[in-house]
């Protein structure tokens, strides 16, 4: 990464960090983009150059996760199933290994679930991941559209459920086990 890209990434992260801190301190609805820009010492237009919406400031890894889901399928080992590649990816991802696990949990409970705007944004984000995943499954496995969409939805619903569980990794492992082996009860 060149100097210019490094500087852009630092600016993006700084804006995101400032926004997150203000949202936690004051609540999502009470903070304006102008306030974030002022505190980050950038112009409002700069904030919008990096983040298309106020909500996207909180979910600053959304593009990275979308790209990583695609890469997990496209770059998997020869002979490795799509489910095994995705299972491995999610186990290693920031969703299950955040730098500050307690902080992320508190943030999700206090901030996201208490804000209709953020809950709606998060649903839209997961829907985007579902479309990406379904498209990749379909491309890679010659599965029909409906089956690819169904499998993508089941995978991501399982991941979402695991993220909110007492034992996230155990629930993720169970989710992928059921998906891979079926449920014959």
Catalogue all structural domains in the chain, each as residue range(s) with its CATH number: 1-52 (1.10.10.60), 61-181 (1.10.357)
Place of tokens 């990583």: 68
The 10s digit of each residue's pLDDT in 7-54 is 988 998 899 889 988 887 888 888 999 999 999 999 999 999 999 988
Task: Mean pLDDT check: name the lowest of 68-77, 94-103, 122-131.
Answer: 94-103
CB 19 within 8 A of CB 57: yes
Residues 172, 158: contact at Cβ < 8 Å? yes
- Secondary structure (3-state) at 75: coil
Q: With pLDDT > 70 as the criterion, what percentage of the chain qualifies?
A: 91
Residue 87, Cβ density class (10 Å: 0-12 exposed, 13-18 middle, ≥19 buried): buried
Cα R_g (the chain), whole angstroms: 18
Asked if residue 154 has pLDDT above 70, the reply is: yes
DSSP state of 97: S
Lowest mean pLDDT among 104-108, 125-129, 175-179: 104-108
Distance between CA atoms of 12 and 51, rounded to whole angstroms?
8
């Amino acid at each position: 990464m060149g100097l210019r890209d490094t500087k852009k990434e630092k600016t993006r992260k700084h804006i995101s960090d400032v926004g997150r801190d203000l949202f936690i301190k004051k609540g999502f609805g009470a903070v304006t983009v102008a306030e974030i820009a002022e505190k980050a010492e950038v112009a409002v237009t700069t904030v919008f150059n990096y983040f298309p919406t106020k909500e996207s400031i909180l979910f600053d890894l959304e593009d990275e996760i979308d790209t990583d889901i695609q890469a997990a399928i496209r770059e998997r080992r020869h002979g490795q199933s799509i489910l095994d590649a995705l299972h491995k990816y999610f186990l290693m991802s920031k969703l299950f290994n955040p730098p500050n696990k307690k902080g992320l949990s508190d943030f999700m409970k206090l901030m996201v679930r208490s804000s209709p705007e953020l809950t709606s944004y998060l649903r839209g984000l997961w829907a985007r991941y579902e479309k990406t995943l379904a498209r990749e499954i379909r491309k890679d496995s010659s599965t029909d559209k409906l089956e690819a969409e169904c499998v993508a939805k089941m995978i991501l619903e399982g991941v979402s459920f695991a993220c909110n569980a007492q034992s996230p990794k155990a629930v993720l492992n169970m989710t992928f086990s059921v998906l891979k082996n079926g449920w014959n009860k």
